[in-house]
Amino acid sequence: MAAVSKEEIMRIVEEYDKKDIRIATVCSHSSLQIFHGARVEGFKTIGIAISKKPRFYDAFPLAKPDEFIIVDSYEEIMDIEDELIERNAIVVPHGSFVEYLGHKNFMEFRVPTFGNRRVLEWESDRDKERLWLESAGIKMPRKIESPEKINFPVLVKYDGAKGGKGFFIAKDYAEFKIGIDYTKKYTIQEYILGTRYYLHYFYSPIDNSGYRLSRGSLYLMGIDRRDESNIDEMYKLGSQEELKKYGLFPSFVVTGNVPVVIRESLLERVFEMGASVVEKSFELFGGMIGPFCLESIVTDELEFRVFEISARIVAGTNLYIGGSPYTEMIEKDMSMGRRIAREIKNAIALNMLDEIIS
């Protein structure tokens, strides 16, 4: 089956009852925030649960979906397309949804989806991602073409959104061979020393307030850092080199998130980077829509190096369901999940859903 076309999606949307649009997503990742934000903006919600309804939603009644659809696996989400369409659903994709449904299925999925699906091709392929970011003027860590040439600290990363799982540091070819899984596509980047900041943006093609671009507006919604297992605790046991003798190797699996406010003098560069990435996206694939995150390192020279982009809502925004220090200066209690719902609500009112879904 070929990728679903924008024209087909719009034909489906034309049949929707615009007074009964429902917001749907998979019960994982940032779904509590998405459902909560949708409810605040007046939408009914649909939780897609794998195997069974998660019990923990009962503990958060303001974020519990109005209804659940149970499937046995992520692949079976493809079998409930008609059911979602009958409910006037707009799907909000998050990291787990896209990673586990799979690129091919996501592109063929017939349910109207918030954002531009074409971004996935540029985000999930490390070479295309680098082309996009560097052509937008973003500085990135150097790419190492041959593992045999590793003679300084590097970070080895696999393609796709995996919450840091499988990433590892190597300082030479011998360490690379110990850690690598040759069955997966990987990229080798120089390891940059500095502080890591995950910058949460929202781009609206239909809103003309805020930080103006050539078309639409850009918002900074929040910033986080990430707790990672086991790298964040290994220092307590001594030298990593010594620990490797005992078979203990650092890993970067994200287990939680920590709020951050960046020094104010860096905000201008934060907005410049976000704006240039969005502007370049118009040229490459018709434009990015909604939330995205520039995953960056700030060096002791106060220079940014962006090592990755996530072109959808990231789990770090879960810190700010009641709003962040930045959104507090835009609108009280504005989370990323609520901002997505607000964009859908505004697009319905302006008859501009074609600008924000695919």
Distance CA 210, CA 233 (A): 40
Classify 114-141+192-358 by CATH class.
Answer: alpha beta
pTM recorded for the entire structure: 0.92
Residue identified by tokens 């209690």 is 333
Closest to 23 in 3D by CA, of 105, 73, 101, 84:
84
pLDDT for position 8: 96
pLDDT for position 60: 97
Question: In degrees rounded to 5, what are phi and psi of residue 88?
Answer: 60, 40
pLDDT for position 164: 60
Note down pLDDT in tens along the chain; length 358 residues: 789 999 999 999 999 999 999 999 999 999 999 999 999 999 999 999 999 999 999 999 999 999 999 999 999 999 999 999 999 999 999 988 888 888 899 999 999 999 999 999 999 888 999 999 999 999 999 998 889 989 888 888 887 655 566 678 888 888 888 888 888 888 899 999 999 999 999 999 999 998 999 999 999 999 999 888 877 777 666 666 676 777 777 777 888 999 999 999 999 999 999 999 999 999 999 999 999 999 999 999 999 999 999 999 999 999 999 999 999 999 999 999 999 999 999 999 999 999 999 9
pLDDT for position 235: 65
Secondary element (H or E) of residue 23: strand 22-26
| Per-domain boundaries in the chain | 1-113, 114-141+192-358, 143-191
Q: What is the CATH architecture assignment of 143-191?
A: 2-Layer Sandwich (3.30)
pLDDT for position 239: 66
Residues whose CB is less than 8 angstroms from the CB of residue 179 and which lie 6 or more positions away in sequence, other chains included: 156, 168, 170, 249
Distance CA 53, CA 74 (A): 14
pLDDT for position 156: 87
Q: What is the CATH architecture assignment of 1-113?
A: 3-Layer(aba) Sandwich (3.40)
